[in-house]
C-alpha cells in the first residue's frame, strides 16, 4: 500500500520541476527579430512593408525608414511582401544562440509590363458628328425591362409559355362555374356579343389568325 503513495508523492514533487523546464525551453525559443528593409539597387529604406509570420496571425509593418521589430520563435518563417517589390521569405535558425536576431533584408523591384497603348489624332468635327450619331448604345436595364413587358412580347409569351398548376386549376374551376350557371339552359353565343366582335376585329388586324411558319 505504501508503493502507490510514494509514487504519487514523487510525481507531485516532479511536476514543478517539469513545468519550470518547459517554461525555460519556451522562453529560450523566443527571439526578438529586428532590422531594416531596403531596396536592392539603391539601399533606401522601404516603408509599409508587410512582415508576417507564416502560419500565424501575427505581423507588423516597417516604418518610414524601413525599420521593423517583431517577436518570433526559433524555426519560424517570416515573409516580407510589398505591392511594388518581389516577396521574400526568411527562416529563423533553430540553433540560434541568444534571443535576438538582426537582419538587413533587400527587396528587388517587381517590374510590371503594361499592354501597349496606341495614340491616335483627334477626329475632325465631321468625323465626330458621324460617329456620335451612328454609335450603337447598348440598352440599359430600364430599356430591357420596357421591351420585355411590351404588349407584343406578352402575347408571344402567352402563346408559348405553358400555364402553371394554379392557372390550370383556375381555368378548370371557371369552366365548371360557367357550366353550373347555365345548367338546364342554352348558354349565350358570342356571335351576338358586340364586345366579342370588337376583339375579333382587333385580332384580325394584328394578324393573329395568319398562318405561322
pLDDT in tens, 34-51: 999 999 999 999 999 999
pLDDT of residue 111: 82
**What is each CA distance from 182 to 61, 96, 176, 178, 186, in whole angstroms?**
87, 102, 10, 6, 7
Cell numbers placing 49: 512593408
190-211, pLDDT tens digit by residue? 777 777 788 888 888 887 777 6
61-106, pLDDT tens digit by residue? 999 999 999 999 999 999 999 988 999 999 999 999 889 999 999 9
pLDDT of residue 39: 94
Give yes or no for residue 25 having a pLDDT over 80.
no
pLDDT of residue 4: 59
Instruction: Report the C-alpha gap between 34 and 67 in whole angstroms.
Output: 8
CB atoms within 10 A of CB 62: 23
Cell numbers placing 31: 527571439
The H or E element containing residue 30 is strand 30-39
pTM for the predicted model, two decimal places = 0.45
pLDDT of residue 19: 47
More confident residue, 101 or 181: 101
Which domains, from first to last, does the chain contain? 2-107 (2.60.40.1120), 135-206 (no CATH)
111-134, pLDDT tens digit by residue? 878 888 888 887 888 888 888 888
Closest CA to 69 of 94, 46, 100, 95: 100
pLDDT of residue 67: 96
Amino acid at each position: 500500500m505504501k508503493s502507490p503513495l510514494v509514487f504519487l508523492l514523487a510525481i507531485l514533487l516532479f511536476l514543478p520541476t517539469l513545468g519550470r523546464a518547459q517554461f525555460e525551453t519556451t522562453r529560450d525559443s523566443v527571439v526578438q527579430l529586428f532590422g531594416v528593409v531596403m531596396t536592392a539597387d539603391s539601399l533606401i529604406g522601404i516603408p509599409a512593408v508587410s512582415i508576417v509570420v507564416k502560419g500565424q496571425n501575427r505581423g507588423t509593418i516597417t516604418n518610414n525608414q524601413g525599420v521593423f521589430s517583431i517577436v518570433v520563435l526559433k524555426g519560424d518563417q517570416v515573409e516580407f511582401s510589398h505591392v511594388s517589390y518581389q516577396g521574400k521569405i526568411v527562416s529563423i535558425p533553430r540553433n540560434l544562440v541568444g534571443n535576438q536576431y538582426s537582419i538587413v533584408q533587400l527587396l528587388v523591384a517587381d517590374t510590371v509590363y503594361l499592354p501597349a497603348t496606341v495614340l491616335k489624332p483627334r477626329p475632325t468635327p465631321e468625323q465626330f458628328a458621324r460617329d456620335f450619331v451612328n454609335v450603337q448604345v447598348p440598352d440599359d436595364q430600364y430599356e430591357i425591362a420596357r421591351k420585355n413587358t411590351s404588349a407584343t412580347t406578352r402575347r408571344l409569351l402567352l402563346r408559348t409559355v405553358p400555364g402553371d398548376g394554379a392557372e390550370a386549376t383556375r381555368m378548370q374551376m371557371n369552366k365548371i362555374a360557367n357550366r353550373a350557371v347555365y345548367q338546364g339552359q342554352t348558354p349565350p353565343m358570342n356571335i351576338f356579343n358586340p364586345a366579342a366582335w370588337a376583339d375579333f376585329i382587333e385580332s384580325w388586324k394584328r394578324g393573329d389568325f395568319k398562318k405561322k411558319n
